[in-house]
Amino acid sequence: MRIPFQRSLLVALITSTTLLQACSDNSEETTKEAAAPAAEAPATADHSNHMNTDDSADKPAGSGITRSSAPEGAAAEIVSPANGATVSSPVKVVFGLEGMDVSPAGKEKENSGHHHLLIDLDKMPDMNMPLPANDQVVHFGKGQTETELELEPGTHTLQLLLGDYRHVPHEPAVVSETITITVE
Ligand SMILES: [Cu+2]
């Protein structure tokens, strides 16, 4: 009369381990392409192909991730340009990070992460999964601390969001304030 409870627990464990591995595989792929965010799209597509036996599990897999913890007082800041500045394109953006170290994606290291620049992004991405890579969420997975941005004339918002070695934001999220700049 014993219920095979342990077996179902085992299955659940194996399933979640497999999903986690799938996600870290993806992180490694994106790491290599980190300097060229556009190239990350195929990697993302690969990821879903990978998982096509289990598509419905995509979301639970994301929310099952344990976020790396950020130490108290950790802060990201856009050092330059200043909030409200009028600049010309290309815009040099300098990233600042306090209380943590910048380290490249793909390598696990405590209290560290790499920068992501959120450009004209209205809604924060899901913090419980690896950040997407697109024109508005730019990864600096090599551990870069500045960039040159081509921006159209007009006003733009910029914000930094730190991600861990898997491109997952920390808990609590290390984000800068949003700055608004005008490009001439
Ligand atoms: Cu990233």
Ligand 1: centre distance to CA 10 (Å) = 32
Domain 6-183 fold is Immunoglobulin-like (2.60.40)
Percent of the chain whose predicted confidence (pLDDT) is above 70:
66
- CA-CA distance, 77 to 115, in Å (whole number)? 10
**Mean pLDDT, all residues of the chain:** 78
Taking a 5 Å cut-off on Cβ, the residues next to ion ligand 1 are 139, 141, 163, 167
The reported pTM is 0.68
Ligand 1: centre distance to CA 48 (Å) = 18
Burial code (b: 16+ CB inside 10 Å, e: under 16) for 122-136 equals eeebebebbbbbbee
33: confidence class by pLDDT, cuts 50, 70, 90: very low
Each residue of 56-105: pLDDT tens digit?
333 444 467 899 999 999 999 999 999 999 999 999 999 999 999 999 99
Each residue of 152-174: pLDDT tens digit?
999 999 999 999 999 999 999 99
Q: What is the number of other CB atoms lying within 10 angstroms of the CB of residue 181?
A: 21
Ligand 1: centre distance to CA 139 (Å) = 4
